[in-house]
């Protein structure tokens, strides 16, 4: 019998797959997929999709969330079985944000994969939130998105044309969610071209208003049946499409005479603008449906982002018309319902329904527009430990335009839409009830935080940054969830669970104390399959959570847990933000974080202690010129940069800061940059140092060369960083040859940063130092 962690019965892999990482480490251009490299390719190999393939990419417009689905096709070749570390599939996203041909790197997501026997493919999903450039709804905003899938090596940042060895590249078109409000100052030339209704009395007097006044659009209207008939008269949209919503309502109505026949004995559809032939055609087409019509929209891909229990789907919109009006209107709804067969004999179990609004898009590209939906679930009750083997289940999704699929019918055939199925792999774990779980600290997964040092190494979950042995500082965002079955608190009348985050300094003295500051969160709400709106076109509710003391003997700092997955009324956090921990320079050192929860629906409340204790290192001190060995003897001092030598035409000249030198002078100097801490290297997290000449125009590419710690052997690097530079920092020398620079005033600008993940955005503490000098026309050139 095969045991977990062994490689028994694994077929022999080709050398390129089996030794992929070692080959790359020996020669980064081994497979010839680098545009610029000093290494020669050994074997040209690119875009191999035998093992994995990116299948779909789309955008969920309201949440600005990019989603991608990928297939894992083989039983082997992924680094080990379910109990091993396995390997990663990385997807980096680029967006042509301004629709001007310039790609913007918006970050990367990844999924862990393993050798899993059985039927294939397995369908995985990744996602990345980003900040788009939004336009008023009167202007369609369709932009390109590119996604690069790469196995075992992350696609390099800011290289949208990079080709992976194992993986592929997809470029699609998506529609950015429009603005339904604007500032008066945003309207340059009156309102004649603005297709947003401005309510009186603002409309008539807008020209005289303060430009900082924010104007909200009037509620979005849905065109009537007669208006849709006129709108699509010459657009090729059939009556059973634009009359679908009204017909479905009549077919589903209670069979009373007044509902089906008007007072004068006519069809109620006639009063809405249809003639007898159109009515006959409408119902004739609707009642002979044997399979969904995908000529207007089609569900393309489904998958699971297993580490967050996030079901995702990508659908394509194919035509410019037939979606009940443009972006300034309500449009129409694409419903995607999910079911899962867990293999326990219960058949397909309804998970819920996700939606996205679609509209007529006159500028729809030939390759269609890709939309995405997602549904948050909690699969804790279905989890098994890795020793029990992989938990693979079957996911089914049904797309239906304008009519939600019935939850009790996983075999539903939509009139407009289709069905997709795929195998998905659930994360492994224990089936525990209501377990408080911290998932990220400072936007970094807790799995990427060293439990011994509290330093993080990895990629951000939401943001566009990476960290390397980094501490935390500033406002530290903490995300997580309460796993297991939740009370029906949104639609069922139960009270929501409550949670709190506690911290303490790991000094043997401090005690646990809860965070109590206000937390802002973004929430989406559904009643049935209908997504609620906070304002026209906006389905994201921004809420502030306030900590309370419930006087139940469990202390203070309790926040309401807003998640509710209980159908038909559900509520989700867009990002699972639990708390925002505000740190400062007085809090340096190692800290511990934990989470706990309680159920206030019973008395006394049921208490759920968290099993995790997350250790993090806090560092809010900027770099300094003072070495660690002297930090106790000297106060904090800024980094230093000086000119110590000057030579012209082989002869020394006076070297002073802010001096004047002839063009062609070779300037030399010193720099000192350290990250303060203690002599035992605690809280010393030097990051990088860079020296530049400004202004760069008249400098004509002149480069400041650095020597590194103590030496005078200069390299051609204008910057040095950790780990080349020790974590303590360094003192070194620099050199600048001014030959070829114009006579002008210049500054040598030094930027020194540590490695702190400040504010949960990956922004380090940085300090600067400058020295100025002037270049005059050289005496030799004057003589000539």
Does 56 or 229 have the greater pLDDT score? 56
What CA–CA distance (Å, rounded) separates 69 from 222?
32
Q: How confident is the model at residue 206 (pLDDT cuts 50, 70, 90)?
A: low
Q: Using CA of residue 199, residue 202, residue 206, residue 210, what is the dihedral sign?
A: negative
What CA–CA distance (Å, rounded) separates 414 from 194?
37
What CA–CA distance (Å, rounded) separates 598 from 602?
10
Q: Which residue has the tokens 């002869």?
A: 651
Q: What is the pLDDT averaged over residues 632-645? A: 72
Range name among 286-290, 385-389, 531-535 with the lowest pLDDT average? 286-290
Query: What does the H/E/C string look like for 77-114?
Result: CCCCCCCCCCEEEEEEEEECCCCCCCCEEEEEEEEEEC
pLDDT for position 10: 57
Mean pLDDT of the chain: 88
According to the per-residue pLDDT averaged within each range, which of 394-403, 629-638, 723-732 is highest?
Answer: 394-403
- Tens digits of residue pLDDT in 251-294: 766 554 455 555 455 566 666 566 767 666 666 666 555 678 99
- Tens digits of residue pLDDT in 600-616: 999 999 999 988 999 99
Q: What is the DSSP string of 124-187?
A: EEEEEE--PPP-BTTS--EEEEEEEEEESSPPPTT-TT---SBS-EEEEEEEPPPBSEEEGGG-
Q: What does each C-alpha distance from 262 to 8, 98, 228, 229 come to in angstroms? A: 74, 52, 22, 21
Does 214 or 1 have the greater pLDDT score? 214
pLDDT for position 268: 60
pLDDT for position 646: 96
Q: Does residue 202 have a pLDDT over 50?
A: no
Q: Does residue 456 have a pLDDT over 80?
A: yes
According to the per-residue pLDDT averaged within each range, which of 11-15, 389-393, 524-528 is highest?
Answer: 389-393
**Helix (H/G/I), strand (E/B), else coil: 447:** helix
In this structure, what are the phi and psi dihedrals at residue 557, rounded to the nearest 5 degrees? 85, 25
- Tens digits of residue pLDDT in 700-744: 999 999 988 767 778 778 999 999 999 988 889 999 999 999 999
Going through 675-743 in order, the beta strands assigned E by DSSP cover 686-694, 704-709, 719-721, 729-737
Q: Does residue 637 have a pLDDT over 70?
A: no
> Which run of H or E residues covers position 226?
helix 225-231
Q: What is the pLDDT averaged over residues 579-588? A: 94
| End-to-end Cα, the chain, rounded Å | 89
What CA–CA distance (Å, rounded) separates 402 from 297?
12
Q: Does residue 505 have a pLDDT over 80?
A: yes
Q: What is the pLDDT averaged over residues 504-531? A: 94
What's the CATH number for 435-618? Answer: 2.60.40
**Where in the chain are the domains?**
15-178+294-426, 181-216, 225-286, 435-618, 628-783
- Tens digits of residue pLDDT in 103-116: 999 999 999 999 99
Instruction: Check if 435-618 and 628-783 are the same fold.
Output: yes
pLDDT for position 201: 42
Closest by alpha carbon to 111, among 301, 302, 307?
307
Pick the CATH number of 628-783 from 3.40.50.300, 2.60.40.10, 2.160.10.10, 3.30.1330.10: 2.60.40.10
Share above pLDDT 90 across residues of the chain, in percent, rounded to a whole number: 71
Cis bond upstream, residue 26 (ω within 30): no
Range name among 76-80, 190-194, 684-688 with the lowest pLDDT average? 190-194
Beta strands 729-737; 704-709: pairing state: antiparallel
CB within 8 A of 120, min separation 6: which ones? Answer: 71, 72, 73, 74, 75, 423
Q: Does residue 8 have a pLDDT over 90?
A: no
- What tokens were used for 691? 């020296």
pLDDT for position 292: 86
- What tokens were used for 349? 């179990």
Q: What is the pLDDT averaged over residues 198-217? A: 54
Q: Does residue 443 have a pLDDT over 80?
A: yes
Q: Which residues of 507-542 are buried (b: 16+ CB within 10 A; e: fewer)?
A: eeeeeeebbbeebebebbbbeebebebeebbebbbe
Between helix 276-286 and helix 244-252 the angle, nearest 10°, is 70
**Helix (H/G/I), strand (E/B), else coil: 783:** helix
Q: How confident is the model at residue 479 (pLDDT cuts 50, 70, 90)?
A: very high
- What tokens were used for 114? 């393993």
Closest by alpha carbon to 212, among 177, 179, 181, 178?
181
In this structure, what are the phi and psi dihedrals at residue 25, rounded to the nearest 5 degrees? -65, -35
What CA–CA distance (Å, rounded) separates 501 from 515?
6
């Amino acid at each position: 019998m095969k045991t977990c962690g062994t490689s028994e019965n694994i077929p022999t892999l080709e050398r390129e797959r089996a030794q992929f990482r070692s080959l790359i480490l020996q020669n980064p251009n081994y497979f010839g997929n680098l545009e610029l490299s000093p290494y020669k390719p050994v074997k040209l190999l690119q875009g191999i999709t035998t093992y994995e393939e990116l299948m779909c990419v789309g955008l969920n417009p309201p949440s600005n969330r990019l989603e991608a689905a990928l297939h894992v096709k083989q039983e082997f070749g992924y680094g080990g079985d379910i109990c091993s570390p396995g390997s990663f599939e990385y997807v980096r996203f680029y967006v042509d944000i301004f629709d001007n041909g310039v790609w913007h790197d918006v970050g990367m997501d990844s999924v862990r994969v393993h050798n899993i026997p059985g039927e294939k493919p397995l369908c995985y999903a990744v996602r990345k939130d980003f900040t788009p450039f939004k336009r008023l709804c009167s202007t369609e905003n369709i932009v390109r998105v590119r996604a690069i899938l790469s196995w075992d090596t992350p696609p390099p940042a800011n290289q949208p044309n990079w080709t992976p060895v194992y993986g592929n590249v997809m470029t699609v078109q998506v529609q950015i969610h429009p603005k339904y409000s604007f500032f008066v100052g945003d309207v340059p030339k009156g309102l004649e071209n603005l297709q947003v209704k401005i309510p009186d009395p603002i409309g008539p007097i807008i020209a005289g208003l303060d430009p900082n006044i924010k104007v909200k659009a009037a509620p979005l209207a849905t065109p009537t049946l007669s208006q849709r008939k006129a709108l699509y008269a010459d657009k090729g949209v059939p009556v059973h499409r634009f009359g679908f919503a009204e017909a479905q309502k009549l077919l589903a109505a209670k069979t009373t005479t007044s509902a089906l026949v008007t007072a004068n004995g006519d069809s109620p559809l006639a009063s809405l603008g249809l003639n007898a032939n159109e009515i006959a055609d409408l119902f004739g087409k609707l009642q002979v449906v044997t399979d969904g019509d995908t000529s207007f929209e089609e569900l393309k891909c489904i998958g699971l982002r297993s580490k967050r229990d996030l079901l995702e789907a990508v659908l394509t919109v194919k035509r410019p018309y037939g979606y009940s009006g443009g972006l300034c209107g309500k449009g129409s709804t694409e419903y995607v319902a999910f079911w899962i067969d867990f293999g326990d004999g219960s058949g397909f179990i309804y998970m819920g329904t996700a939606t996205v609004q679609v509209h007529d898009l006159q500028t729809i590209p030939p390759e269609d527009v890709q939309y995405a939906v997602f549904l948050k679930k909690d699969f804790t009750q279905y989890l098994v430990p890795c020793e029990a083997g992989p938990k693979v289940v079957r996911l089914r999704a049904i797309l239906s335009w304008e009519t939600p699929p019935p939850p009790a019918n996983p075999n539903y055939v939509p009139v407009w839409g289709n069905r997709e199925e795929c195998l998905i792999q659930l994360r492994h774990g224990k089936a525990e009830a209501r377990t408080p779980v911290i998932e990220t600290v400072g936007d970094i997964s807790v799995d990427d935080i060293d439990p011994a040092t509290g330093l993080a190494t990895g990629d951000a979950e939401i943001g566009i940054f990476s960290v390397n042995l980094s501490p935390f500082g500033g406002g530290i965002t903490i995300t997580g969830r309460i796993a297991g079955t939740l009370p029906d608190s949104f639609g069922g009348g139960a009270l929501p669970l409550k949670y709190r985050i506690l911290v303490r300094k790991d000094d043997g003295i401090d005690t646990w104390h809860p965070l109590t500051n206000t937390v802002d969160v973004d929430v989406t709400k559904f009643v049935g399959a209908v997504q609620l709106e906070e304002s026209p076109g906006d389905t994201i509710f921004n809420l502030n959570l306030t900590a309370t003391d419930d006087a139940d003997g469990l202390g203070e700092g309790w926040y309401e847990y807003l998640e509710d997955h209980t159908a038909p009324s559900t509520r989700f956090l867009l990002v699972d933000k639990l708390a925002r921990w505000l740190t400062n320079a007085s809090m340096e050192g190692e800290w511990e974080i934990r989470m706990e929860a309680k159920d206030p629906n019973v008395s006394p409340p049921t208490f759920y202690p968290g099993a995790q204790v997350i250790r993090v290192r806090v560092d809010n001190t900027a770099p300094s010129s003072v070495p660690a060995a002297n930090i106790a003897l000297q106060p904090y001092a800024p980094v230093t940069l000086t000119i110590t030598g000057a030579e012209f035409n082989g002869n020394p000249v006076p070297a002073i800061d802010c001096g004047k030198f002839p063009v062609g002078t070779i300037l030399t100097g010193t720099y000192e940059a350290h990250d303060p801490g203690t002599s035992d290297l605690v809280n010393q997290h030097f990051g990088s140092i860079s020296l530049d000449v400004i202004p760069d125009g008249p400098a004509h590419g002149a480069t400041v060369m650095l020597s590194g710690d103590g030496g005078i052997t200069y390299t051609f690097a204008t910057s040095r960083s950790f780990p080349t530079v020790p974590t303590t920092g360094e003192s070194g020398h620099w050199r600048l040859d001014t030959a070829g620079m114009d006579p002008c005033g210049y500054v040598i600008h030094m930027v020194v940063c540590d490695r702190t993940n400040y504010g949960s955005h990956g922004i380090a503490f940085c300090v600067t130092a400058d020295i100025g000098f002037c270049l005059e026309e050289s005496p030799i050139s004057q003589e000539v």
